Amino acid sequence: MKALVTGASGFIGSRLAAALVARGAEVRVLHRGGSRLEALEDLPVQRVVGDVLDAESVGRAVVGCDVVFHVAAISSYWRSTSAAVYQVNVGGTRNVLAACRAAGVGRIVYTSSVAAVGVPPDGTVATEEHPFDAFSAGWPYADSKRRAEDEVRRAVAGGQWAVIVNPAAVVGAGDRNLISGSMILELARRPLPAIPPGGLCLADVDAVVAGHLSAAEVGRSGERYILGGENLTHREMAAIVTRIAGRPLPRRTIPPQALGPFATVVDAYNRVSRRTPTLNGIQVRLSARHLYYDSEKAVRELDYRILPFAQAAEKAYAWYREHGFLA
């Protein structure tokens, strides 16, 4: 099997490329010229320099491939502009689908996000059928991933074989770009005064990678599959991480009513600051919500495994310590 992974210099993409190599696949990766490639340096993969926004380079990358895993996206949306998020996440997906159609690629697995499913009302757990909500429609990252899924569905309607996978907050060894790993680092580096009141669905990267592989093999074309894990409050998550790191568990919980005004302040600061944002108002507002998702469909159809968050956190902490992130 010959497989292409876009976004292979990132967290999920690099781990997926490694898993494909371990399975004996011939692996090709598409990466930008300026990408950091530490995650790929020991992998016997064919590298194609290009960009999902450059249709010509995408066309070169997909030729001869049996399956394409389209993982490339702007996930750290708080560090980017809304225009760039839409351009890469939607326009890049459109380019990959067009190139695969022209090259006759048999199978495509698109890496979306639970953000594209939407934010469930508190007290509920969202499935793949959850209606996309107004809050998420105003969140550029979530809306861009939803629109990218629409591109995939149109391609499927036109005869292409494609599956959508929706990872939750992904944790484990190798998150160099600190997408979800920043939560672990903040709790491990220093005692924190308080934690937010909401919660998250936390997925082990090894389970998520296995879910991608299963989706390519046994997934149903046109379907979406939530690749989640344990649904934990921020306090439950913090208790696990602080135990691993030997830090005290924050005693206080931030009052939900304080997060709205704080989000406004954060956004105002980001508008005038010349620094790359480390946080934005959407993240602050989301921290008050219980972002819980149900992976039962993936468990049933993809033989997806729900791995414990503690296991993923231990691997992430050990990796960060080994690579100097905790200094």
H-helix or E-strand spanning residue 32: none
Q: Angle 309-322/181-189 helices, nearest 10 degrees?
A: 70
State the alpha helices, DSSP H only, in the chain.
11-22, 55-62, 82-86, 92-103, 134-137, 140-157, 181-189, 205-218, 234-245, 256-272, 281-286, 296-302, 309-322
Q: Are strands 230-233 and 199-204 parallel, antiparallel or unpaired?
A: antiparallel
- In this structure, the dihedral spanned by the alpha carbons of residues 283, 197, 269 and 192, taken in order and rounded to 10 degrees, is -110
Residue 101 CA to residue 255 CA, distance in Å, equals 51
Contact 215, 302 (CB under 8 A): yes
Contact 196, 287 (CB under 8 A): yes
> Which residues participate in catalysis according to the annotation?
141
